[in-house]
Amino acid sequence: MSPSDARVAAQTNRLATTTSPYLQQHAHNPVDWWPWCEEALALAREQDRPILLSIGYAACHWCHVMAHESFEDPATAALMNRLFVNIKVDREERPDLDRLHQTAHQLLTQRAGGWPLTVFLTPDDHRPFFAGTYFPPEPRHGMPSFAQLLASVERAYREQRDAIRSQNAALMDAMAKLEPTMGQSLPEAALLDAAVTQLAEVFDTEHGGFGAAPKFPHAPDLEFLLRRHAAGAAGVGSVPGPLRMATLSLERMVRGGLLDQLGGGFYRYSVDARWMIPHFEKMLYDNGPLLALCSDAYATSGEPIFRHAAEATADWVMREMQSPEGGYYSSLDADSEGHEGTFYLWDRDEVRALLSPAEDAPFAAVYGLDQPAGFEGRWHLHGRRSPQAVAGGLGLGEAQVDALLASARATLFAARERRVRPGCDDKVLTAWNALMVKGMARAARVFDRPDYLESAEQALRFIRATLWRQGRLRATYRDGIAHLNAYLDDYANLIDALLELLQTRWSGDRLDFAIDLAEVLLEQFQDPEQGGFWLTGHDHEPLIHRPKPLADESMPSGNGVAAFALQRLGHLIGEPRYLNAAAGALKLAAASMRRMPYAHAMLLMALEEHLQPPEVMVIRASDDRLETWQRQAQQGYRPHRLVLAIPASQTRLPGTLAAMRAGDRPCIYRCRGTHCEPPVGSLAELA
């Protein structure tokens, strides 16, 4: 490399000083990138140059492709630098900007968006006037090249300003009309059955999941179905019941290619209908809910496959995704060595060379290596056959096959660890950590795993020490810097996670923390007039639109989680303001829920508990009955019951809990809604 080339390679743009690994991936681009900041917006206004806004995330495959093809190309970068003020955004750090511009993309193009998201904004008011996703470096499949697009968009801005202003006004009007208004009534109970029916209509009876490829896990839908089963809902005739839809879908994901069969953890989605070929990125926000879901499926069915998937996922999280400081990392990339899935794929001869013949025979039969290659000439492991079926075919005992499979997995895992690993986005996001804290706490309780509980508590300690500052949450942390005002999802999911932890190990301090978070949630995010909760707080940076997310998307709806968690906390301490705020969210969402019930699983779970408040059992004791009764009360799958084991020595309790004293002997209180029964001296008396 010449001295001049070395200087060029060493040059970085403004993204080098950001905390986002995704932005830092673009720090050496010849593009004059800015992070989203007032200085960049002011520059666009002063120079009357449109803003090119590019949104993506570190694990995004097509983001890497477009970066390599266009943003690393000097000629394309020179064109971008001359015509636009270029801003790069990490959608995980700024879900507000991403949601806003994904909505704008859908309205402008009448198509769903995705990543990378490419949006052009007018410089004075930052309104989108053209949007797309990935653009190729050369004209392809009816799409212009990215360079052609840049020139055309800039020319349109210069020559068609009146038309752009008119379009922008129409866009803002359309976005305003998308926002719901509060109705007079709550959603009706019939929506619970209607959602089950809608899901049954698109349920894949052979492979599980809903609709055609690509297939996503949709954990809130499956949790809703398990809860409906627990409430007594069942299938009718040929219509599958909620338990069948939930467990078949999850079983196919676990046996198929969506679960990493060697290292644990679920991939993002399947590109085919059979769950065989995944998109290989692993996202924390998928794995937290799926960990909880596998735990619940095991508690419901007792099927070992769900325990295996839960423990493999929890073990992966502790091994690869938990920082030394305690917080959980965000994601693992789909790519390594420049190609998607390289880390996870196998050549048949490589496996034969690593395993003994005795190991190879059952391993190939169970994990599909005796079938044609399924991924560009290579094999992606999936549970094609059960070990029990393979044992019979090979004339071996089941225990013998299980031992051979375990040995083979360990050998291949060790070999895989020597490969070039996918990149890790090691920033810590509050909402995503809350989802994983809840999953780990649930798994700790179901499987009696103290190490899982300790992992969850480490993450919570990290959040409180690092991301809770002067009575407010921060959204993201990396390299010693916690910043950005937290969003609705951060507060709502953290309250929900704290309620889960309280059912695993009591802590008065954690209950106080949940109450503190709820107070900020009401103060900063609640709309007291129209009901519901905004995505951003009142003191957040003003943007061109402020949404109230209702439907579940890649994460459960912020309004749904807020309503669900506030109701539970409100019933627990007897706080009517929390219950009223939750009811306001349900009223706001009523019309949207009636139009499309199945798209609002999280809100439906909140509705379910509004109509039938959960059973709250509070155990007070100073001896080993505290733990024994708690374990007995939590046996099986009981989603409509909260069990809190509070040591008798705990006397400083808030709200209605203060009246639930231990007295002279251990006792159990049971409440539902505003009604509490007299305390009893044993679980048998409750029956």
Q: State whether 453 and 568 are in the same domain.
A: yes
Give the orientation angle of helix 601-611 with respect to helix 558-573, to 10 degrees. 20
DSSP class per residue in 121-163: E-TTT--EEEEES---SS-BTTBPPHHHHHHHHHHHHHH-HHH
Q: Do 325 and 349 reside in the same domain of the chain?
A: no
Last residue of a domain, one of 391, 418, 445: 418
pLDDT at 518 over 60: yes
**Does 250 lie in the same domain as 170?**
no
Q: For position 687, what pLDDT does the model report?
A: 72
Collapsing DSSP to helix, strand or coil, 423 comes out as coil
Q: Is residue 195 part of a domain?
A: yes
Does residue 219 share a domain with residue 145? no
Question: In which domain, by residue range, is 555 found?
Answer: 190-337+425-611
Do residue 32 and residue 158 come from a single domain? yes
208 in a structural domain: yes
**Inside any domain, residue 601:** yes
Give the angle subtended at the CA of 456 by the CAs of 450 and 458, to the nearest 5°: 100
Buried b (16+ CB within 10 A) or exposed e, 71-92: bebeebbebbeebbbbbbbbbb
**Confidence (pLDDT) at 182:** 84
Task: Express each pLDDT in 361-410 by its tens digit.
Answer: 999 999 999 999 988 899 999 998 999 999 998 999 999 999 999 999 99
16 pLDDT higher than 50: yes
Q: Is 2 left (phi over 0), alpha (psi -120 to 50) or beta?
A: beta
On average, the pLDDT of the chain sits at 95
- Backbone φ and ψ of 68, nearest 5°: -65, -40
Least-confidence region, from 249-258, 272-281, 497-506, 656-665:
656-665
CB neighbour list of residue 304: distance below 8 Å, 6 or more residues apart: 298
pLDDT digits (tens, 9 = 90+) for 191-219: 999 999 999 999 999 999 999 999 999 99
For residues 389 and 485, membership in a common domain is answered with no
pLDDT for residue 516: 98
Residues 431 and 557 in one domain: yes
pLDDT value at residue 624: 92
Q: Is the pLDDT of residue 1 over 50?
A: no
The pLDDT score that the predictor gives to residue 239 is: 75
* pLDDT grade for 8, boundaries at 50, 70 and 90: very low
The token pair at 90 is 């990490």
Asked if residue 233 belongs to a domain, the reply is yes
In-domain check, residue 185: no
Per-residue pLDDT at 183: 81
pTM: 0.96
Instruction: Pick from 171-185, 339-353, 657-671 the range whose average pLDDT is largest.
Output: 339-353
| Tokens, residue 222 | 């499956």
Task: Report the CATH number at residue 463.
Answer: 1.50.10.10
Of 165, 162, 111, the residue nearest 133 (C-alpha)? 111
Cα–Cα distances (Å) from 75 to 66, 395, 600, in that order, read: 14, 65, 46
Same domain? 287 vs 399: no
- Residue 492 in domain: yes
Query: Residue 75 maps to which CATH number?
Result: 3.40.30.10
The CATH number that applies at residue 396 is 1.10.10
Whole-angstrom distance between the N-terminal and C-terminal Cα of the chain?
A: 79
Radius of gyration of the chain measured on its C-alpha atoms:
26
Residue ending a domain, choose from 122, 146, 178: 178
pLDDT of the residue at 633: 96
Question: How is residue 599 written in tokens?
Answer: 């798209």
CB atoms within 10 A of CB 469: 12
The pLDDT tens digits of the residues spanning 586-616 come to: 999 999 999 999 999 999 999 999 999 999 9
**Alpha carbon distance 530, 585 (integer Å):** 9
Q: How many domains does the structure of the chain reveal? A: 4
Query: Do 437 and 513 fall within a single domain?
Result: yes
Task: State yes or no: cis peptide before 549, omega within 30 of 0.
Answer: no
pLDDT computed for residue 41 by the predictor: 98
Residue ending a domain, choose from 571, 586, 611: 611
Confidence of residue 432 (pLDDT cuts 50, 70, 90): very high
User: Which pLDDT score, from 0 to 100, does residue 236 have?
Assistant: 67
**Residue 128: inside a domain, yes or no?**
yes
pLDDT value at position 374?
84
Looking at the structure, do residues 60 and 157 belong to the same domain, yes or no? yes
Inform me whether the pLDDT recorded for 125 exceeds 80.
yes
Is the distance from CB of 263 to CB of 413 less than 8 angstroms? Answer: yes
State whether 499 and 461 are in the same domain.
yes
Report how far residue 255's alpha carbon sits from residue 234's, in angstroms, rounded to the nearest whole number.
25
| Same-domain check for residues 478 and 547 | yes
* pLDDT value for 2: 39
- Any idea what DSSP says for residue 346? B
Specify whether the CB–CB gap between 495 and 569 falls below 8 A.
yes
Q: Is residue 184 part of a domain?
A: no
Supply the pLDDT for residue 4.
Answer: 34
Q: Which residues contact 328 (CB under 8 A, 6 or more apart)?
A: 284, 317, 321, 322, 428, 432, 433, 436, 459
Encode pLDDT of 66-88 as tens digits: 999 999 999 999 999 999 999 99
